[in-house]
Structure 1
Amino acid sequence: MAKLAAVAVVGVVATHPPELPAGPYPVLLHESEDLAREWTVAVLTPRFGAERRRAGGPAPAGDAR
């Protein structure tokens, strides 16, 4: 999906960029940043669009952070 997207950005809490498949750009966050406690998944196609978001609080169960 990231190869076909105009832009794909992945924000991660880390000190070094993770290995990602070709396409997305990693953005490194510090764990103290507000954005580090948010996550959003957005899917857009010519016929469908959906979004899921969570802001603040701990990461969802099973999150690999």
Structure 2
Amino acid sequence: MCDSLALRRARLLFSSLALLSLLALPSGASAQTIVNGGNVINQTWTAANSPYERCAAT
């Protein structure tokens, strides 16, 4: 009886730690860039007219 109780406790501890580790993972990536217009494959952008938003350095 004692072995099965210890085994259940070990499984519960392992399962709890596994769940907590999954919750600690970072969320998915996100993007804010929307480029309107047709074919953008052959276009070249300069830093001034780039469609990408610049983030301020922290």
Normalising by structure 2, report the TM-score.
0.17
Q: Which has the higher contact order (CA 8 A, sep 6+)?
A: 2
Between Structure 1 and Structure 2, which shows a larger proportion of helix residues? Answer: 2
Structure number with higher strand proportion: 1
TM-score normalised by the chain length of structure 1: 0.16
